[in-house]
Amino acid sequence: MSGTVSGSILISNGNGPELWESDCNPPMWSDLFFTNNVIHATGSGIYYRDCSGLAVTVPDFNAIAGKAAANTDATPAFADFHANPPTISAGGTAVLSWCTPGGTSLAVDQGVGPLGQPFGVVDVTPQDTTLYTFSRGGTPVGTSTVTVACAALGTPVPRSPTNGQQSRAPGGLTLTWHAASGAETYDVYLDTGADPVTLVGSGVATTSLALPPLELSTTYRWMVVARRPPVPRRS
């Protein structure tokens, strides 16, 4: 067996050493290399290899050429910290959840503040993409990002008059349309072009617009565009 074990936490492997490689025949020893790990002994030492002996401490383990280097000894502060959903629309809400065994002096930055217990949830509504850091006793032990994405507005569907309708009276005509999801107001365009560009109603808060008298014997086209004010950005 060969390879590298890195960036891991090794702890609580029973009463024996955290790592044990059997066999007195050196060619049978694994070629696994341990580097940049946190290894904390809760039993009789860090590493034992038959016919070679016990490495009691992490420095002893790091001193074994070809087997270990740059590992550290520390009691890890295990912590779970997540954001769900990790991506929201502007104005939406995400839930931060945390859990850490025996946690004290817990907090989350970005306005969340101190946490009252070692596990729980809290709602957040960031205005833009935000990195939240979960800390224990002032030491960061977890991070999670909530991404704020631009939400697509729905399409307002014309309702009346219907496409191709003829012989309408030139006065008293009202345009109506079906509401679009996420829209707060609508802009309405109408003229004789194939793609109308003349704005006849701006910031319309309802789903209808009464028109002024129109020209006789004229074909008009109309279009409705959904609008929503931009979300203020933090500086």
Is the same domain home to 21 and 43? yes
User: Which regions in the chain score pLDDT beneath 70?
Assistant: 77, 102-103, 151-152, 170, 230-235
Asked whether residue 134 is assigned to any structural domain, the reply reads: yes
Asked whether residue 56 is assigned to any structural domain, the reply reads: yes
Instruction: Indicate the residue among 69, 90, 105 that finishes a domain.
Output: 69
**Cβ neighbours of residue 18 closer than 8 Å, sequence gap 6 or more:** 10, 11, 39, 40, 41, 42, 43, 45, 46, 47
pLDDT at 6: 93
Is the same domain home to 217 and 174? yes
Is the same domain home to 138 and 187? no
Asked whether residue 235 is assigned to any structural domain, the reply reads: no
Instruction: Indicate the residue among 26, 50, 69 that finishes a domain.
Output: 69
pLDDT at 90: 76
Give the integer Cα–Cα distance in Å for 84 and 42. Answer: 35
Structure tokens at 118: 């070692």
Sequence letter at residue 213 = P
The distance in angstroms from the start CA to the end CA of the chain is: 53
Beta strands 185-191; 221-227: pairing state: antiparallel
Q: For position 207, which CATH number holds?
A: 2.60.40.10
Q: What is the pTM of this model?
A: 0.44
Is the same domain home to 9 and 55? yes
Asked whether residue 233 is assigned to any structural domain, the reply reads: no
Is the same domain home to 95 and 130? yes
* Domain of residue 189, residue span: 157-227
Asked whether residue 102 is assigned to any structural domain, the reply reads: yes
pLDDT at 224: 94
Instruction: Indicate the residue among 131, 149, 167 that finishes a domain.
Output: 149
The per-residue pLDDT for range 36-86, each reduced to its tens digit, is: 999 988 888 999 988 778 999 999 999 999 899 999 998 776 788 999 999
DSSP, residue by residue, 36-72: S-EEE-SSS-SEEETTTEEE-SHHHHHTSTTTEES-B
pLDDT at 148: 87
pLDDT at 34: 96
Is the same domain home to 22 and 40? yes
Asked whether residue 33 is assigned to any structural domain, the reply reads: yes
Q: Which of 123, 182, 195, 189 is nearest to 154 (CA)?
A: 182
Asked whether residue 234 is assigned to any structural domain, the reply reads: no
Q: Under DSSP, is residue 225 helix (H, G, I), strand (E, B) or coil? A: strand
